[in-house]
Structure 1
Amino acid sequence: MQLDHVGVATDDAAELADLYGELFDAPVAHEEEFDGMRVVFLAFDGGYFELLEPMEDGTIARYLDRNGPGVHHVALRTEDVEGALETVRERGVELVDDEPRPGAWGHDVAFLHPKSTGGVLVEFVEH
């Protein structure tokens, strides 16, 4: 596995994309509205920042209400998300997703519960 992206919850993805673009020379690689969110991916060498702006009430809106803006999750790229889930399941890791589901860019994704991963929401993503 390798690091795919870091998900960042924000109230304004366009504003944060502009800031990160200036500060880190990180161009926008992809934008879409997905699952009640505006999602903006900024490209870095070997990975992305995924900016998550809620468009309606949902997971990211609730996260922002509780925690404010900041790092939401860390995503690891795998060639076999189902196999990765099986491996962590065998080790007793609590899952958010028992099966892969469609994610941004049409990738298959699944999340691990932060209770089992040191307080970090971890996403597996299969391109």
Structure 2
Amino acid sequence: MRAGSLVHYPLHRSLPPSPSASFSRTAPPTTFSRSSFASQPTSRPFRILGLQQVAIGAIDKSPLSNLWTNIFGIPQIGNYKSEKENVDEDTLQLGKKGSPFAVEVDLMMPIDAEKSPKVHVPSLNHIGLWVDDLPKAVAWMESQGVRFTPGGIRKGASGHDVTFIHPKGDEKNPIGGGGVLIELVQAPTEVIDAFTEGV
């Protein structure tokens, strides 16, 4: 997704023989390819296209900015400030400029640390995922029991329509983000086209 070569992780590891192991290794390991996943039928009316952003919070974003901008060399492309959302954030871009698969890195601090939302708690505030059809994705996920945060679909800091999956499920909607806030972001045409061409 980012500039540079992709890293492929093995789906299984070879284990050293164990005297207590009583399993057979006669069956070959299962291997998967992108085409085998793509050919499987699904009723899911949307696609997750990739990682759109990673948002990191701190009581003071200066040390974060030093690490990500000065040490890592990732350029800042904007700033967003909202009293309502209690956030002052620097927006960085990880990846080649102009690439539809560049990843946004948001370095956030609260305007008032005593008020909510507390964008610095937890430090990894949320991740954002590109979605090709956000309204259909939300409707389908809700029908599957996914819990969303209040507010519905609205414009995000970067101008895209967004909504958030709650970190935790509840009795009515038991599926949450496993402790992680997940932002779903409506992908623009260039991201959808680039993903489709790469399939």
On the 8 A contact 2:162/2:184 being kept in 1, the answer is: yes
In structure 1, the residue corresponding to 2:162 is in which secondary structure? strand
Poorly superposed stretches of 4+, deviation over 3 Å: none
| TM-score between the two structures when normalised by the length of structure 2 | 0.56
| TM-score between the two structures when normalised by the length of structure 1 | 0.83
Query: What is aligned with 1:59?
Result: 117
Q: 1:85 to 1:97 in 2, by over 3 A?
A: farther
Offset of 1:98 from its aligned partner? 5.9
Quick one: which of 78, 100, 108 aligns to 2:153?
Answer: 100
On the 8 A contact 2:92/2:104 being kept in 1, the answer is: yes
> How many equivalent residue pairs?
122
Give the gaps of 5 or more residues in structure 1: none
Query: What is aligned with 1:88?
Result: 141
- Larger radius of gyration, structure 1 or 2? 2
Give the gaps of 5 or more residues in structure 2: 1-48, 96-101, 169-175, 189-199
Deviations 1:91-115 (A, max 9, x none): 1111114620222122221110112
Deviations 1:63-88 (A, max 9, x none): 53xx4xx2111110123222221121
Identity of aligned residues (%): 27
Query: What is aligned with 2:128?
Result: 75
Offset of 1:125 from its aligned partner? 1.5
Pick the structure with more strand per residue.
1
Query: What is aligned with 1:43?
Result: 93
Pick the structure with more helix per residue.
1
In structure 2, give the amino acid aligned to 1:12.
D
Query: What is aligned with 2:50?
Result: 2
On the 8 A contact 1:17/1:42 being kept in 2, the answer is: no
Which structure is higher in RCO with an 8 Å CA cutoff and minimum separation 6?
Answer: 1
Q: Give the aligned CA root-mean-square deviation in angstroms.
A: 1.9
Query: What is aligned with 2:43?
Result: none
In structure 1, the residue corresponding to 2:88 is in which secondary structure? strand
2:177 is equivalent to residue 121 of structure 1: no
In structure 2, give the amino acid aligned to 1:72.
N
Offset of 1:38 from its aligned partner? 0.6
In structure 2, the residue corresponding to 1:104 is in which secondary structure? coil
2:37 is equivalent to residue 16 of structure 1: no
Query: What is aligned with 2:172?
Result: none
Query: What is aligned with 1:109?
Result: 162
On the 8 A contact 1:52/1:60 being kept in 2, the answer is: no
